Amino acid sequence: MVAARLWWLLIALNAALALGIQAAAPSQPAQSDREKYEFAGAHPFAPTCPPLWVVYCYRVLVPGTLELIPVDSEVRWRGYRWAATTAAGSIIAVTVASITSAPAAGVAAAVLTQASYGFAFTAYDPFSADPAVFVFVAAMAWCWMRGRWALALALGLVGMFAKETVALMSASLAVAALIPPRRRGWEKWVGQGALVVAALLAYRWALQSYSDWGKELGQSAGLLQIDLSKGGWLALWLEGNPPVTRVYLLFVSFGFAWLYALLGYRAAPLEWRQLALGSALPFLALNYVQNPERALGNLFFVVIPFAAIALARVPASLAISAAVLTGLITARAATSSVWLPPTKYTLVPAAVAAVVVVVQAVRQTGRQADRG
C-alpha cells in the first residue's frame, strides 16, 4: 500500500514538473523541425518527401499518431510532450525509489530527469520525436532491470519508427548482456538487439528501394549535409564553440548530476552498471549526428539513477535541495526561460550543495565500510 502510494506521488510529481517547465518555456522555439515532422505525419511514406527531410519522413510514428487526434495541432504536440515526459520520468523515479527504498531518491530522480537538458529542451521545442524516445528508452531500461527481453524487443521494433535512437538502446542492451559476468539468457538480449537493428536497416532499405528517397538523398549533399567521415555534427559543434562554451554545454546536460552519478556508480546494482557500460559507445556515437548536449541527454536512464543512488546516502532535505539547484541550471540552459533564475545566481549554491553531498556521501560510505 505504501509503495503504491509512493508510486502515484512520484507520477504526480513528474506530471507537475513536466507541466511547470513547459509553462515556463517560451511559447515558440526560434528554430524547429515541426514542419518536417508534420509533413511526415500528413504524408506517411510519401515518395515525394523532400530530399533534406528524408530522415524525418522515416520517423512516422509520432506525427502519424498525432494526426489521428482531432484537436488543434499546437495542443496535441504540447499534450504529447507533457504526457511522454511524465511517463518517462515516472518510470525512472519509480524504479529508483524501488531499488533504493528511499522516497527522497525517487523525488530527486524526478526533479533531475524533468529538469535535465534533454527533457527541458522538449518543453522549449515539443515538435519532435524526442519525448517518445524518452518513453521507449526508459521502458527498455526497466525491461533490462527486470529481465524482460521479449518486451524490450517489442518496444525496439515499435520505437524505431519514432526515431533511430531507440535502435541504439536495443544495441546497448545487447552489448550490456555481453559484459562480464554475462547475465543469464544473454543470447536473447543479443538477439533482440540484432533483430531491431536489422529491422531498422531493412525498413530504410525498403523505402529507399521502392521510392525516390534514396535517389534524391544521393543528389542532395548527403544526410542533412553532414560528412560523417570528417567528424559529422560533432566536428561542426567543436568548430562553432570555443573551449569554455563546450565545457559548459557538456556540463549542462545534467549539471552536477554528472558528479552525483560518479558517486553512485559503484553502489548501483550490477545490471545497471552493465547497462551504463553497454550504452557508452552507442550513445557517444549519437554525438556525430546531434548536438552533444542533446545527444548526451539521452543517457538519462543511467546518469539519473546513479545520481539518485548517491543522493540516497545523504539527508532527504539535502538530496532534494541539491537536485533542485542543479535542475534550475539545466532547465534554464535548455529553455532560456525568463521565469527561471539565470545560471549566475544558481551555480554557486548548486556547487556548494554538491560539495556537501560529496563530503557526506563519502563519510557515509566510510561508516558502512567500518561497520562491514
pLDDT tens for residues 231-275?
677 777 888 889 999 999 999 999 999 999 999 999 999 999 999
Distances (CA, A) of 357 to 74, 226, 309: 41, 42, 12
Confidence band (pLDDT; 50, 70, 90) for 368? Answer: low
Give the mean pLDDT of the chain: 90
Whether the predicted pLDDT of 308 surpasses 50: yes
For 266-279, give one letter per residue: b (16+ CB within 10 A) or e: ebbeebbbbbbebb
Query: Where in the chain are the domains?
Result: 2-221+233-371
Q: According to the model, what pLDDT value does residue 215 have?
A: 54
Q: According to the model, what pLDDT value does residue 290 have?
A: 83
pTM for the whole structure: 0.93
Residue located via cell numbers 539565470: 342
pLDDT tens for residues 122-172?
999 999 999 999 999 999 999 999 999 999 999 999 999 999 999 999 999
Whether the predicted pLDDT of 7 surpasses 50: yes
Top pLDDT among 142 and 368 is at 142
Distance CA 328, CA 20 (A): 12
| CA-closest candidate to residue 38, choices 67, 68, 71, 72 | 67
Q: Are 96 and 307 in contact, with CB atoms under 8 Å apart? A: no
Average pLDDT score over residue span 345-359: 96
pLDDT tens for residues 112-125?
999 999 999 999 99
| CA-closest candidate to residue 235, choices 294, 282, 287, 165 | 287
